[in-house]
Each structure stands twice: as structure tokens, then as C-alpha cells.
């Protein structure tokens, strides 16, 4: 039902989410072995959830469901950001890396908010 985007890959928020996920995956490769079953899988799942929810929402062909999946993706961004604080507090990442990723996460959140607003307008005009 989204008239401007032909596939979920066309959505700017999905594109930014993919980049963000790749950076998170790269980051956790340097985490200590003791986080193999705790923080690493948790942050990876949350990062995957961002793009997966955008894609799934797109595939629902319902404005309201798409918006709800985008809200879930937005929640996953905040989950990743919280987990970055854990990594910072445990000294797994440097402050400058934290700040760069935190800023990128907030930019991604703004992109999702923009997409949600676009969907709301599309819904009104449908």
C-alpha cells in the first residue's frame, strides 16, 4: 500500500538500519568471550529486529500494521542503544565509538519516525 516504495529495500530507514546492523555486528566481534552467550546475541537480535520489522511491516500491505512494525523497530533501536551503554560501562568500547553509534542510532530513529509520518499521511489519503 506504500505508493512511493516498491520494495522494503527502497525505504531509507531500512537502508540506514542495515548499515547500523552491520556496524553493530562488526563492533561485537571485539567483545570478550564471556559475553558470547549474554550481550553479543542480545545486541545482535535487537539490531536484526530493526530491519526485520521494517521489512515485515512493509509486507503486510496495511498502513496500520506497517506503522506498528515500525514502532517495534524503533523500540529495537533503543534496546541497541541501551546495550551500547552496557558495552561502554564495561569498557568493551571506547567513548568515541559509543558516541558515533549512539548518534547513528538516533538518526535511524528519526528516519523511522519520518517513515511513520509518511505512512500516516498515506493512510489519510487512501
Nearest to residue 122, comparing CAs of 74, 60, 64?
A: 64
Q: 41-94: per-residue pLDDT in tens?
A: 999 999 999 999 999 999 998 999 999 999 999 999 999 999 999 999 999 999
* CATH class label, 8-125: mainly alpha
**DSSP one-letter string for 27-75:** HHTTS-GGGTTTHHHHHHHHHHHHHHHHHHHHHT--HHHHHHHHHHHHH
What's this model's pTM, rounded to 2 decimal places? 0.94
Q: Quick count: other Cβ atoms within 10 Å of Cβ 87?
A: 23
Q: How far apart are CA 50 and CA 105, in angstroms?
A: 11
What's the DSSP call for residue 7? S
Q: What is the pLDDT of residue 126?
A: 84
Contact between 36 and 58 under an 8 Å Cβ cutoff? The reply is: no
109 sits in the region (left: phi over 0; alpha: psi -120 to 50; else beta) called alpha
Q: How much is the pLDDT for 98?
A: 98
Determine the average pLDDT of the residues in 24-46. Answer: 97
Amino acid at each position: 500500500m506504500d505508493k512511493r516504495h516498491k520494495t522494503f529495500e527502497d525505504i531509507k530507514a531500512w537502508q540506514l538500519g542495515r548499515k547500523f546492523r552491520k556496524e553493530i555486528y562488526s563492533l561485537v566481534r571485539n567483545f570478550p568471550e564471556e559475553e558470547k552467550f549474554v550481550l553479543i546475541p542480545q545486541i545482535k537480535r535487537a539490531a536484526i529486529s530493526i530491519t526485520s520489522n521494517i521489512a515485515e511491516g512493509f509486507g503486510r500491505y496495511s498502513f496500520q500494521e506497517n506503522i506498528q512494525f515500525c514502532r517495534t523497530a524503533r523500540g529495537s533501536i533503543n534496546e541497541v542503544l541501551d546495550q551500547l551503554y552496557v558495552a561502554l560501562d564495561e569498557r568493551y568500547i571506547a567513548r568515541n565509538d559509543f558516541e558515533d553509534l549512539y548518534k547513528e542510532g538516533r538518526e535511524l530513529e528519526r528516519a523511522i519516525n519520518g517513515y511513520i509520518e509518511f505512512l500516516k499521511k498515506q493512510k489519510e489519503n487512501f
